[in-house]
A = this chain, B = another copy of it.
Amino acid sequence: MERAALDTLIGRMLEGDRGALAKLITIVENRDAETRRIMSAVYERSGTAYVIGVTGPPGAGKSTLVDRLIGQLREAGSSVGVVAVDPSSPFSGGAVLGDRIRMQAHFLDDGVFIRSLSTRGRHGGLARATRDIVRLLDASGKEFVLVETVGVGQTELDIMELAHTTLVVMVPEAGDTVQVMKAGLLEIADVFVVNKADREGADRMVGELERMLHMLPGQPSWEVPVLSTQAIQGVGIADVLAAVRRHREHRQGEAETERLRQQRRREVYDIVEEELATRLRQAMGGGAFPDILGRVDRGESDPYGAAGEVLEDRSRLAALLAAERREG
Protein backbone atom coordinates (compact mmCIF):
# COMPACT_ATOMS: atom_id res chain seq x y z
CA MET A 1 0.00 0.00 0.00
CA GLU A 2 1.25 3.50 -0.80
CA ARG A 3 2.33 5.64 2.08
CA ALA A 4 -0.29 8.33 1.46
CA ALA A 5 -3.13 5.80 1.29
CA LEU A 6 -1.92 4.18 4.48
CA ASP A 7 -1.73 7.55 6.26
CA THR A 8 -5.30 8.29 5.18
CA LEU A 9 -6.44 4.94 6.52
CA ILE A 10 -4.69 5.57 9.84
CA GLY A 11 -6.22 9.02 10.10
CA ARG A 12 -9.72 7.66 9.45
CA MET A 13 -9.20 4.94 12.05
CA LEU A 14 -8.13 7.48 14.67
CA GLU A 15 -11.31 9.42 13.92
CA GLY A 16 -13.36 6.32 14.72
CA ASP A 17 -13.95 4.78 11.27
CA ARG A 18 -14.73 1.09 11.84
CA GLY A 19 -13.90 0.03 8.29
CA ALA A 20 -10.47 1.64 8.51
CA LEU A 21 -9.88 -0.06 11.86
CA ALA A 22 -10.83 -3.44 10.40
CA LYS A 23 -8.46 -2.97 7.43
CA LEU A 24 -5.55 -1.96 9.65
CA ILE A 25 -6.14 -4.94 11.93
CA THR A 26 -5.97 -7.24 8.91
CA ILE A 27 -2.63 -5.75 7.81
CA VAL A 28 -1.22 -6.11 11.31
CA GLU A 29 -2.64 -9.61 11.77
CA ASN A 30 -0.89 -10.69 8.55
CA ARG A 31 2.34 -9.08 9.78
CA ASP A 32 2.64 -7.25 6.46
CA ALA A 33 5.63 -5.01 5.84
CA GLU A 34 3.55 -1.93 6.77
CA THR A 35 2.97 -3.19 10.31
CA ARG A 36 5.77 -1.24 11.98
CA ARG A 37 4.84 1.99 10.21
CA ILE A 38 1.20 1.68 11.30
CA MET A 39 2.03 0.83 14.89
CA SER A 40 4.55 3.63 15.18
CA ALA A 41 1.98 6.09 13.83
CA VAL A 42 -0.76 5.09 16.29
CA TYR A 43 1.48 4.55 19.32
CA GLU A 44 1.08 8.04 20.73
CA ARG A 45 -2.69 7.70 20.68
CA SER A 46 -2.61 4.42 22.60
CA GLY A 47 -2.07 3.73 26.30
CA THR A 48 -5.46 4.72 27.68
CA ALA A 49 -7.46 1.52 27.24
CA TYR A 50 -7.69 -0.91 30.13
CA VAL A 51 -6.88 -4.44 28.94
CA ILE A 52 -8.67 -7.40 30.58
CA GLY A 53 -7.45 -10.89 29.74
CA VAL A 54 -9.84 -13.85 29.95
CA THR A 55 -8.35 -17.33 29.86
CA GLY A 56 -8.90 -20.82 31.22
CA PRO A 57 -9.43 -24.39 30.04
CA PRO A 58 -11.69 -25.24 27.07
CA GLY A 59 -15.37 -25.34 27.92
CA ALA A 60 -15.17 -23.02 30.94
CA GLY A 61 -17.62 -20.55 29.41
CA LYS A 62 -15.13 -17.80 28.61
CA SER A 63 -17.03 -16.51 25.58
CA THR A 64 -20.26 -16.24 27.56
CA LEU A 65 -18.47 -14.40 30.35
CA VAL A 66 -16.92 -12.02 27.83
CA ASP A 67 -20.38 -11.40 26.36
CA ARG A 68 -21.76 -10.51 29.80
CA LEU A 69 -18.81 -8.26 30.59
CA ILE A 70 -19.37 -6.41 27.31
CA GLY A 71 -23.02 -5.96 28.24
CA GLN A 72 -22.28 -4.44 31.65
CA LEU A 73 -19.45 -2.23 30.39
CA ARG A 74 -21.74 -0.91 27.65
CA GLU A 75 -24.51 -0.24 30.17
CA ALA A 76 -22.00 1.85 32.10
CA GLY A 77 -21.35 3.84 28.92
CA SER A 78 -17.87 2.47 28.13
CA SER A 79 -16.73 1.48 24.65
CA VAL A 80 -15.28 -2.02 24.31
CA GLY A 81 -12.91 -3.83 21.96
CA VAL A 82 -12.59 -7.62 21.94
CA VAL A 83 -9.86 -9.85 20.54
CA ALA A 84 -10.74 -13.54 20.60
CA VAL A 85 -7.71 -15.70 19.91
CA ASP A 86 -8.94 -18.89 18.33
CA PRO A 87 -6.79 -21.82 17.36
CA SER A 88 -7.01 -22.96 13.78
CA SER A 89 -9.82 -25.19 12.71
CA PRO A 90 -11.01 -26.55 9.40
CA PHE A 91 -14.57 -25.58 10.33
CA SER A 92 -13.85 -21.88 10.08
CA GLY A 93 -16.80 -19.63 10.66
CA GLY A 94 -19.18 -22.47 11.18
CA ALA A 95 -19.80 -24.59 14.23
CA VAL A 96 -16.69 -23.33 15.97
CA LEU A 97 -18.16 -19.89 16.31
CA GLY A 98 -21.45 -21.30 17.53
CA ASP A 99 -20.91 -20.21 21.10
CA ARG A 100 -19.99 -16.74 19.91
CA ILE A 101 -23.50 -16.17 18.63
CA ARG A 102 -24.51 -14.22 21.70
CA MET A 103 -21.35 -12.17 21.50
CA GLN A 104 -22.15 -11.43 17.89
CA ALA A 105 -25.30 -9.62 18.99
CA HIS A 106 -22.91 -6.84 19.95
CA PHE A 107 -21.73 -6.54 16.34
CA LEU A 108 -24.61 -4.14 15.71
CA ASP A 109 -23.43 -1.88 18.53
CA ASP A 110 -21.09 0.92 17.40
CA GLY A 111 -19.49 1.03 20.83
CA VAL A 112 -18.20 -2.52 20.45
CA PHE A 113 -15.61 -3.92 18.05
CA ILE A 114 -14.98 -7.69 18.02
CA ARG A 115 -12.24 -9.48 16.15
CA SER A 116 -11.40 -13.17 16.04
CA LEU A 117 -7.75 -13.92 15.48
CA SER A 118 -7.01 -17.30 13.98
CA THR A 119 -3.83 -19.12 14.88
CA ARG A 120 -3.77 -21.17 11.71
CA GLY A 121 -0.26 -21.73 10.45
CA ARG A 122 1.35 -19.40 12.93
CA HIS A 123 4.50 -20.31 14.79
CA GLY A 124 5.27 -17.69 17.34
CA GLY A 125 4.33 -14.15 16.50
CA LEU A 126 0.80 -14.68 17.77
CA ALA A 127 1.44 -12.85 21.03
CA ARG A 128 3.05 -9.99 19.06
CA ALA A 129 0.12 -9.75 16.65
CA THR A 130 -2.36 -9.81 19.52
CA ARG A 131 -0.50 -7.04 21.32
CA ASP A 132 -0.53 -4.87 18.21
CA ILE A 133 -4.24 -5.43 17.58
CA VAL A 134 -5.04 -4.56 21.20
CA ARG A 135 -3.06 -1.36 20.70
CA LEU A 136 -5.00 -0.53 17.53
CA LEU A 137 -8.29 -0.93 19.42
CA ASP A 138 -6.82 1.23 22.18
CA ALA A 139 -5.78 3.95 19.73
CA SER A 140 -9.20 3.83 18.09
CA GLY A 141 -10.64 5.01 21.42
CA LYS A 142 -11.94 1.86 23.08
CA GLU A 143 -11.93 2.32 26.85
CA PHE A 144 -11.74 -1.40 27.58
CA VAL A 145 -10.18 -4.15 25.50
CA LEU A 146 -11.01 -7.77 26.36
CA VAL A 147 -8.63 -10.47 25.17
CA GLU A 148 -10.02 -13.99 25.24
CA THR A 149 -7.74 -16.96 24.61
CA VAL A 150 -9.03 -20.46 24.02
CA GLY A 151 -6.83 -23.18 25.39
CA VAL A 152 -4.25 -23.43 28.09
CA GLY A 153 -0.68 -23.35 26.93
CA GLN A 154 2.53 -21.39 26.78
CA THR A 155 1.38 -19.11 23.96
CA GLU A 156 -1.78 -18.28 25.89
CA LEU A 157 0.30 -17.43 28.98
CA ASP A 158 2.47 -15.17 26.81
CA ILE A 159 -0.58 -13.41 25.43
CA MET A 160 -1.95 -12.80 28.91
CA GLU A 161 1.19 -10.77 29.74
CA LEU A 162 -0.33 -7.88 27.83
CA ALA A 163 -3.42 -7.77 30.06
CA HIS A 164 -3.60 -5.29 32.91
CA THR A 165 -5.95 -7.65 34.77
CA THR A 166 -6.12 -11.35 33.98
CA LEU A 167 -9.28 -13.34 34.73
CA VAL A 168 -8.81 -17.10 34.91
CA VAL A 169 -12.13 -18.87 34.36
CA MET A 170 -12.69 -22.36 35.71
CA VAL A 171 -15.60 -24.77 35.90
CA PRO A 172 -16.18 -27.45 38.51
CA GLU A 173 -15.88 -30.19 35.88
CA ALA A 174 -12.56 -28.97 34.54
CA GLY A 175 -10.64 -31.61 36.45
CA ASP A 176 -9.25 -31.08 39.88
CA THR A 177 -7.45 -27.89 40.73
CA VAL A 178 -4.01 -29.49 40.56
CA GLN A 179 -4.53 -29.21 36.81
CA VAL A 180 -4.76 -25.43 37.22
CA MET A 181 -1.33 -25.36 38.73
CA LYS A 182 0.08 -27.61 36.04
CA ALA A 183 -1.18 -25.28 33.38
CA GLY A 184 0.59 -22.31 35.02
CA LEU A 185 -2.71 -20.50 35.58
CA LEU A 186 -2.25 -19.95 39.31
CA GLU A 187 0.62 -17.54 38.77
CA ILE A 188 -1.05 -15.40 36.13
CA ALA A 189 -4.50 -14.99 37.71
CA ASP A 190 -5.35 -11.58 39.13
CA VAL A 191 -8.94 -12.73 39.61
CA PHE A 192 -10.25 -16.30 39.62
CA VAL A 193 -13.76 -16.90 38.32
CA VAL A 194 -15.48 -20.21 39.05
CA ASN A 195 -18.18 -20.24 36.40
CA LYS A 196 -21.25 -22.50 36.23
CA ALA A 197 -21.27 -22.10 40.00
CA ASP A 198 -24.65 -23.83 40.31
CA ARG A 199 -23.03 -27.13 39.44
CA GLU A 200 -21.83 -29.73 41.88
CA GLY A 201 -18.34 -29.18 43.25
CA ALA A 202 -18.29 -25.41 42.70
CA ASP A 203 -17.93 -24.50 46.38
CA ARG A 204 -15.23 -27.09 46.83
CA MET A 205 -13.32 -25.65 43.86
CA VAL A 206 -13.55 -22.12 45.30
CA GLY A 207 -12.15 -23.39 48.61
CA GLU A 208 -9.35 -25.33 46.92
CA LEU A 209 -8.30 -22.37 44.82
CA GLU A 210 -8.22 -20.14 47.88
CA ARG A 211 -6.06 -22.64 49.75
CA MET A 212 -3.69 -22.97 46.79
CA LEU A 213 -3.35 -19.20 46.52
CA HIS A 214 -2.35 -19.05 50.17
CA MET A 215 0.32 -21.69 49.54
CA LEU A 216 2.07 -19.50 46.95
CA PRO A 217 5.52 -18.40 48.14
CA GLY A 218 6.18 -14.76 49.00
CA GLN A 219 3.91 -12.08 50.40
CA PRO A 220 1.74 -10.88 47.54
CA SER A 221 0.66 -7.25 47.61
CA TRP A 222 -2.57 -8.16 45.84
CA GLU A 223 -4.85 -10.83 47.25
CA VAL A 224 -6.36 -12.74 44.33
CA PRO A 225 -10.13 -13.01 44.83
CA VAL A 226 -11.96 -16.20 43.88
CA LEU A 227 -15.42 -15.30 42.59
CA SER A 228 -18.41 -17.39 41.55
CA THR A 229 -20.48 -16.67 38.44
CA GLN A 230 -23.25 -18.17 36.38
CA ALA A 231 -22.42 -16.29 33.22
CA ILE A 232 -25.37 -17.57 31.17
CA GLN A 233 -27.80 -16.24 33.81
CA GLY A 234 -25.74 -13.07 34.29
CA VAL A 235 -25.10 -13.91 37.96
CA GLY A 236 -21.92 -12.51 39.55
CA ILE A 237 -20.78 -10.35 36.62
CA ALA A 238 -20.94 -7.08 38.57
CA ASP A 239 -18.66 -8.59 41.23
CA VAL A 240 -16.14 -9.54 38.56
CA LEU A 241 -16.05 -5.97 37.25
CA ALA A 242 -15.76 -4.61 40.79
CA ALA A 243 -12.73 -6.86 41.34
CA VAL A 244 -11.22 -5.61 38.07
CA ARG A 245 -11.69 -2.02 39.28
CA ARG A 246 -10.02 -2.78 42.61
CA HIS A 247 -7.10 -4.44 40.82
CA ARG A 248 -6.80 -1.47 38.50
CA GLU A 249 -6.45 0.90 41.46
CA HIS A 250 -3.93 -1.46 43.06
CA ARG A 251 -1.69 -1.32 39.96
CA GLN A 252 -0.91 2.41 40.15
CA GLY A 253 2.40 3.71 41.44
CA GLU A 254 6.11 3.65 40.87
CA ALA A 255 6.55 -0.09 40.38
CA GLU A 256 4.11 0.23 37.49
CA THR A 257 6.16 2.99 35.85
CA GLU A 258 9.32 0.86 35.99
CA ARG A 259 7.42 -2.17 34.71
CA LEU A 260 6.23 -0.17 31.72
CA ARG A 261 9.76 1.08 30.99
CA GLN A 262 11.10 -2.49 30.91
CA GLN A 263 8.15 -3.60 28.81
CA ARG A 264 8.91 -0.92 26.20
CA ARG A 265 12.55 -2.06 25.95
CA ARG A 266 11.44 -5.68 25.57
CA GLU A 267 9.11 -4.61 22.82
CA VAL A 268 11.99 -3.10 20.86
CA TYR A 269 13.87 -6.42 21.03
CA ASP A 270 10.76 -8.34 20.04
CA ILE A 271 10.04 -6.18 17.01
CA VAL A 272 13.65 -6.31 15.76
CA GLU A 273 13.72 -10.06 16.30
CA GLU A 274 10.48 -10.63 14.41
CA GLU A 275 11.68 -8.59 11.44
CA LEU A 276 15.05 -10.36 11.28
CA ALA A 277 13.34 -13.76 11.45
CA THR A 278 11.09 -12.75 8.54
CA ARG A 279 14.07 -11.58 6.48
CA LEU A 280 15.94 -14.78 7.27
CA ARG A 281 13.05 -17.01 6.21
CA GLN A 282 12.44 -15.02 3.03
CA ALA A 283 16.11 -15.15 2.08
CA MET A 284 16.61 -18.84 2.85
CA GLY A 285 13.30 -19.88 1.29
CA GLY A 286 14.24 -17.73 -1.71
CA GLY A 287 17.44 -19.60 -2.46
CA ALA A 288 20.11 -18.11 -0.20
CA PHE A 289 22.92 -20.45 0.88
CA PRO A 290 22.14 -23.03 -1.86
CA ASP A 291 25.49 -24.75 -1.30
CA ILE A 292 24.90 -25.33 2.42
CA LEU A 293 21.24 -26.34 2.06
CA GLY A 294 22.12 -28.60 -0.84
CA ARG A 295 24.48 -30.55 1.42
CA VAL A 296 21.65 -30.88 3.96
CA ASP A 297 19.33 -32.23 1.24
CA ARG A 298 21.90 -34.82 0.20
CA GLY A 299 22.46 -35.86 3.80
CA GLU A 300 26.08 -34.66 3.75
CA SER A 301 25.48 -32.10 6.52
CA ASP A 302 23.25 -32.30 9.57
CA PRO A 303 21.00 -29.30 10.30
CA TYR A 304 23.07 -28.17 13.30
CA GLY A 305 26.36 -28.23 11.38
CA ALA A 306 24.73 -26.47 8.42
CA ALA A 307 23.30 -23.76 10.69
CA GLY A 308 26.80 -23.29 12.10
CA GLU A 309 28.16 -22.81 8.57
CA VAL A 310 25.48 -20.18 7.86
CA LEU A 311 26.29 -18.36 11.10
CA GLU A 312 30.02 -18.41 10.36
CA ASP A 313 29.54 -17.03 6.86
CA ARG A 314 29.31 -13.55 8.32
CA SER A 315 29.47 -11.49 5.18
CA ARG A 316 26.63 -13.32 3.43
CA LEU A 317 24.58 -13.38 6.63
CA ALA A 318 25.05 -9.68 7.30
CA ALA A 319 24.11 -8.77 3.73
CA LEU A 320 21.00 -10.92 3.96
CA LEU A 321 19.85 -9.48 7.28
CA ALA A 322 20.52 -5.91 6.27
CA ALA A 323 18.41 -6.30 3.14
CA GLU A 324 14.99 -4.70 3.17
CA ARG A 325 12.16 -7.15 3.37
CA ARG A 326 10.38 -7.75 0.10
CA GLU A 327 6.82 -6.48 -0.01
CA GLY A 328 3.87 -8.80 -0.53
Contact = CB atoms under 8 A, between A and B. Distances in A.
B158 A123 contact: yes
A192 to B, nearest CB: 15
A93 interface: no
**Interface size class of chain A, counting residues whose CB lies under 8 Å from the partner chain:** 35 or more
Nearest to A132: B304
A83 B182 CA distance: 15
Contact of A57 (B58, B215, B304): B58
A99 B177 CA distance: 13
Contact of A307 (B59, B87, B216, B268): B268
A91 B261 CA distance: 30
A89 interface: yes
B310 A318 contact: no
Interface of A: prevailing SS? helix
Interface in A235-291: 261, 264-265, 267-269, 271-273, 275-277, 280-281, 284-285
Question: How many copies are assembled?
Answer: 2
A157 interface: yes
A95 interface: yes
A54 to B, nearest CB: 14
A285 B59 CA distance: 41
B90 A307 contact: no
Contacts of A98: 178
Contacts of A187: 88-90
A217 interface: yes
Given A268-B310, A296-B265, A151 B280 contact: no
A292 B180 CA distance: 41
Interface stretch (A5-13, A17-25, A35-43): A35-43
Interface stretch (A71-79, A102-110, A168-176): A168-176
Interface string A157-193: 1100000000000010111101111111011000000
A327 to B, nearest CB: 15
A154 B126 contact: yes
B269 A36 contact: no
A303 interface: yes
A322 interface: yes
A92 to B, nearest CB: 10
A232 interface: no
Residue from A60, A88, A302, A303 whose CB has the most chain B CB atoms within 10 Å? A303
A305 interface: yes
A183 B87 contact: yes
A57 to B, nearest CB: 6
A96 B215 CA distance: 13
B184 A302 contact: no
A302 B91 contact: no
Nearest to A307: B271
Nearest to A157: B87
Contact of A153 (B153, B178, B310): B153
13 contacts: A40-B304, A40-B308, A58-B180, A60-B175, A86-B182, A87-B183, A95-B181, A151-B151, A153-B153, A273-B280, A276-B277, A318-B318, A321-B321
